[in-house]
């Protein structure tokens, strides 16, 4: 069976007949998992194995497992800190923060790979301007150089575990208060202002080998009337052209309100793919997914197919039992476990994406 340009979700903790039929469609190339898909480590391993068995080559399996409020799998997994905790540590102890960031990236990725998950949509590269209702403590810092240093360390940790990193939300979602899950955010700054701050982490991480990026459902009207994820200017002129990015571009969830300006779900999907996204996410709306599967007519490029092939997790990861015997994993888990519990992430409020239909973010 072939892979295609869509990433869909599944309804529960195992595959229904409808899930199997949907995921077997030639337009589908990946699956995103949410908290509702997780019951236990054993159940998750079976679910990912069942998904993987549907196609050859297998579907890409992804999740949002940043840490803090946005950690889909919790019981049986190491509690990861909100990324802002690493930024606060960096203020006083830069070297220690970078070590912890690498260990957090490694633990997160190693545990996911042990359960058959290929990719976590992390790290967040947005700057913390102190105003965004959806970014908040997910941002590492307000200083672009600190974000670069810590995100680079997270990416290295993920690579140590055989997982690619995905920076988000290009070209920056932290400046505005509006949440793109429930509204249409507009950032009125001009390109020079964005380039001088928000774009710096993306440029640096691309130069350092970042393998995937997710654009924001944000409109920057002084630059383009379309949200970044639907904008050839942002995705082709700036990301591919000026920044020289050669990796995978995932759309954010196309059922989010921030994507509504592009029309109905099929129009949104086509607009995202034509703008430069390699894989388009349609989450939590199986009826809309079915509509796209029946209507989408898109010539998926050979370049996108190659990028999808490269983004899969490295083969033969450690099992969880094998991980527990690895000194590197045990040490890293011990180092960050207290950060995850002491950071107060349970008191920082619920995951905003869980409140808005479990959207990707």
Q: How many domains does the chain have?
A: 1
280 DSSP β-pair partners: 6
Residue 123 lies in a domain: yes
pLDDT tens-digit series, residues 95-105: 999 999 999 99
Q: Please, are residues 224 and 190 in contact by the beta-carbon 8 Å criterion?
A: no
74 DSSP β-pair partners: none
pLDDT tens-digit series, residues 137-154: 999 999 999 999 999 999
Whether the pLDDT of residue 319 is over 50: the answer is yes
Q: Identify the pLDDT of residue 351.
A: 45
**If DSSP codes are grouped into helix, strand and coil, which group holds residue 224?**
strand
Using pLDDT thresholds of 50, 70 and 90, give the confidence band for residue 361.
low
- Active-site pick, 19, 252, 253, 351: 252
- What backbone phi and psi angles, to 5 degrees, belong to 331? -65, -45
Q: What share of the chain is helix, strand, coil (3-state, %, to 5)?
A: 45, 10, 45
For residues 160 and 154, give the distance between their C-alpha atoms in angstroms, rounded to a whole number. 10
Residue 15 lies in a domain: no
Rounded mean pLDDT, 239-248: 98
Residue 217 lies in a domain: yes
Q: Cα 41 to the chain's mean position, in Å? A: 21
Arithmetic mean of pLDDT over the chain: 92
Alpha helices (runs of H) in 236-316, residue ranges in sequence order: 265-275, 286-295, 302-311
CATH number of the domain enclosing 178:
3.20.20.300
pLDDT tens-digit series, residues 80-136: 999 999 999 999 999 999 999 999 999 999 999 999 999 999 999 999 999 887 899
For residues 15 and 172, give the distance between their C-alpha atoms in angstroms, rounded to a whole number. 35
The boundaries of the domain holding residue 272 are: 26-355
The sheet with strand 248-249 has its strands ordered as: 166-170, 212-215, 248-249
Residue 18 lies in a domain: no
198 a catalytic residue:
no
Rounded mean pLDDT, 149-176: 97
For residues 160 and 144, give the distance between their C-alpha atoms in angstroms, rounded to a whole number. 24
Q: Identify the pLDDT of residue 243.
A: 98
pLDDT tens-digit series, residues 69-80: 999 999 999 999
Residue 7 lies in a domain: no
Residue 14 lies in a domain: no
Give the helix/strand (H/E) hosting 166. strand 166-170
Residue 283 lies in a domain: yes
Q: Identify the pLDDT of residue 348.
A: 32
Q: Identify the pLDDT of residue 176.
A: 87
Tokens 């830069």 — which residue? 94
Using pLDDT thresholds of 50, 70 and 90, give the confidence band for residue 1.
low
For residues 236 and 241, give the distance between their C-alpha atoms in angstroms, rounded to a whole number. 6
Q: Please, are residues 10 and 31 in contact by the beta-carbon 8 Å criterion?
A: yes
Residue 260 lies in a domain: yes
- Active-site pick, 115, 152, 169, 181: 181
Q: Please, are residues 172 and 198 in contact by the beta-carbon 8 Å criterion?
A: yes
Q: Please, are residues 69 and 320 in contact by the beta-carbon 8 Å criterion?
A: no
For residues 180 and 76, give the distance between their C-alpha atoms in angstroms, rounded to a whole number. 31
9 a catalytic residue:
no
Tokens 């898109």 — which residue? 298
Q: Identify the pLDDT of residue 338.
A: 79
């Amino acid at each position: 069976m072939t892979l295609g340009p869509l990433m869909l979700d599944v309804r529960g903790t195992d595959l229904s007949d409808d899930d199997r039929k949907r995921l077997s469609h030639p337009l589908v190339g990946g699956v995103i998992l949410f908290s509702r898909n997780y019951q236990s480590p054993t159940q998750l391993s079976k679910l990912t194995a069942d998904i993987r068995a549907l196609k050859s080559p297998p579907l890409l399996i992804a999740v949002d497992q940043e840490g803090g409020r946005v950690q889909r799998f919790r019981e049986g997994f190491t509690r990861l800190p909100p990324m802002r905790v690493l930024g606060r540590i960096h203020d006083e102890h830069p070297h220690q923060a970078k070590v912890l960031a690498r260990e957090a990236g490694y633990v997160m990725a190693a545990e996911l790979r042990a359960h058959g998950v290929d990719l976590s949509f992390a790290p967040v590269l947005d700057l913390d301007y102190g105003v965004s209702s959806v970014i908040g403590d997910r941002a590492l810092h307000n200083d672009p150089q600190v974000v670069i240093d810590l995100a680079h360390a997270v990416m290295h940790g993920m690579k140590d575990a055989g997982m690619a990193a995905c920076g988000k939300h290009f070209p920056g979602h932290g400046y505005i208060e509006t949440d793109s899950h429930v509204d249409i955010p507009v950032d009125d700054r001009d390109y020079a202002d964005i380039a001088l701050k928000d774009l710096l982490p993306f440029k640096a991480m691309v130069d350092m080998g970042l393998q995937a990026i997710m654009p924001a459902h944000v409109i920057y009207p002084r630059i383009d009337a379309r949200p970044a994820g639907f904008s050839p200017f942002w995705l082709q002129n700036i990301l591919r052209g000026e920044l020289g990015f050669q990796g995978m571009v995932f759309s954010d969830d196309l059922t989010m309100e921030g994507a509504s300006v592009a029309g109905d779900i099929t129009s949104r999907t086509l607009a995202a793919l034509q703008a430069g996204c390699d894989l388009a996410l349609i989450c939590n709306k199986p009826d809309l997914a079915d509509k796209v599967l029946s209507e989408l007519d898109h010539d998926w490029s050979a370049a996108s197919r190659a990028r999808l092939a490269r983004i899969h997790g490295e083969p033969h990861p450690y099992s969880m039992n094998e991980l527990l015997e690895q000194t590197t994993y045990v040490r890293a888990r011990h180092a960050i476990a207290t950060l995850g519990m002491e950071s107060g992430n349970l008191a920082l409020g619920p995951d905003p994406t869980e409140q808005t239909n479990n959207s990707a973010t």
